């Protein structure tokens, strides 16, 4: 039966192509793209004036590009969702560094002489430097059909090995952490004996109070009403400054 033999040969070739050749090709291409990720960013900015990391809502604009020193000049980082610009950060210059991971990619942008423009939820502020972290999925291999058989078996046993699942789980966990923190802050500011909530860092102590505390989306906590924030030096306990406003936002950094 030549027809049956031909069908078996075609099916076998198709299986080999689907489960070995194509995944192997995609993995090699992904490695090559990771090695050239920095050049891709700089070339896009040189040609188009901006770069949008895939899978993110951020766009990086720059007036001048210096790939030899990994620097940008006249920088704007905009967070665009649909037709709305939610956040704009400008900087005199910035240093770009890629931090590749096995299942995702990360670009670190260290800005200098930075200003974040006021938005609907936040007032503007300036900073001498700021580190922005943009995480984005693999450039090619983030599709289950590009996985090898052993990778599929591993994902079946542990779904967190598949980046889209891992990212969703980390976002859910981070949002849950923000909601727990908001509840803890509410308990603190409603304490009749001492309604200030304390946050500690290595060098500073920040305590604040407000009339209301609400957890919002994207790892944000909103303080509203009579908001009072006092900053102390952690060693000398000397008060550094006191701020008063009617609304403030706490941004929870990190996914873990």
The 10s digit of each residue's pLDDT in 239-255 is: 988 989 888 888 776 55
Instruction: Give percent above pLDDT 70 in the chain.
Output: 77
- Give the C-alpha separation, 112 to 22, whole Å: 43
Residue 96 · residue 38 · CB < 8 Å: yes
Query: In the chain, where are the structural domains located?
Result: 1-147, 165-251
- Write out pLDDT tens, residues 89-102: 999 999 988 877 76
- Write out pLDDT tens, residues 129-177: 888 888 776 655 566 666 667 777 777 888 877 777 887 888 888 888 8
Residue 229 · residue 243 · CB < 8 Å: yes
**Cα→Cα distances 227→98, 192, 232, Å:** 38, 16, 17
Q: Across-strand partners of 45? A: none
pLDDT band of residue 209 (cuts 50, 70, 90) is very high
């Amino acid at each position: 039966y030549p027809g049956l033999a031909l069908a078996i040969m075609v099916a076998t070739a198709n299986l080999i192509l689907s489960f070995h050749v194509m995944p192997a090709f995609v993995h090699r291409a992904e490695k090559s793209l990771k090695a050239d990720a920095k050049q891709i960013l700089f070339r896009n900015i040189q040609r188009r004036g901006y770069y949008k990391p895939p899978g993110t809502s951020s766009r990086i604009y720059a007036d001048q590009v210096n790939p030899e020193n990994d620097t940008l000049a006249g920088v704007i980082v905009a967070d665009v969702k649909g037709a709305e610009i939610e956040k704009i950060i400008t900087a005199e210059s910035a240093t770009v560094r890629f931090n590749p991971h096995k299942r995702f990619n990360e670009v670190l942008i260290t800005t200098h002489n930075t200003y974040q423009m006021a938005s609907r939820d936040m007032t503007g502020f300036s900073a001498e430097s700021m580190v922005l972290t943009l995480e984005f999925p693999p450039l090619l291999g983030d599709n289950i059909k590009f996985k090898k058989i052993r990778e599929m078996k591993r994902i079946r046993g542990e779904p967190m090995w598949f980046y889209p699942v891992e990212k969703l789980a980390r976002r859910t966990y981070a949002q849950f952490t923000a909601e727990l923190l908001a509840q803890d802050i509410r308990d603190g500011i409603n304490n009749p004996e001492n309604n200030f909530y304390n946050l500690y860092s290595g060098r500073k102590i920040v305590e604040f109070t407000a009339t209301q505390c609400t957890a919002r989306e994207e790892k944000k906590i909103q303080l509203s009403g009579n908001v009072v924030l006092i900053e102390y030096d952690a060693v000398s306990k000397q008060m550094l400054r006191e701020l008063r406003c009617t609304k403030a936002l706490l941004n929870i950094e990190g996914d873990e």
